Amino acid sequence: MRARAIWPVLLLLLVLLGWLQYRLWFGSGGQREVEALQQQVRQQAHDNAGLKQRNEALAAEVEDLKSGEAAVEERARSELGMIKPGETFYRVVETEPAPPADADDTHVEGTDADEGAQ
């Protein structure tokens, strides 16, 4: 009679174990969801590192602009085209190079058109 009483308890435990395993792997807060959240955390940490580096560069530029005139002068020259009093501004304009003289010549030796003309 004792063996008969064990089977329902054993069956109940197996069903409970199956249900817990299902919840662990597929349910809300399960293994798949945890892995997806960990991937999002890794991506966000990567993005944060890039933004932190950009912020540090901007902070250094702000500090440079606050403390020195050289940075302001360089920026005024490059972005606004400003010059100091007494300086002469020269603009160098590069022209496109002329094509070589023999490029206009349509007669090229060794072509089929030359052989037909001979």
Given a cut of 70, whether residue 90 has pLDDT beyond it is: yes
Q: Tell me, yes or no, whether 58 lies in a domain.
A: yes
What mean pLDDT is reported for the chain?
80
Cβ atoms of 47 and 40 within 8 Å: the answer is no
- How many structural domains comprise the chain? 1
Domain of 37? 2-95
18-39, pLDDT tens digit by residue? Answer: 888 888 777 777 778 888 899 9
Whole-model pTM: value is 0.41
pLDDT interval class at 118 (50, 70, 90): very low
Q: Tell me, yes or no, whether 88 lies in a domain.
A: yes
Cβ atoms of 31 and 25 within 8 Å: the answer is yes
| Mean pLDDT of the 91-108 span | 71
pLDDT given for residue 109 in this prediction: 55
Q: Tell me, yes or no, whether 117 lies in a domain.
A: no
Look at the block and give the residue holding tokens 């496109």: 96
Tokens of 25: 């792997």
pLDDT given for residue 27 in this prediction: 76
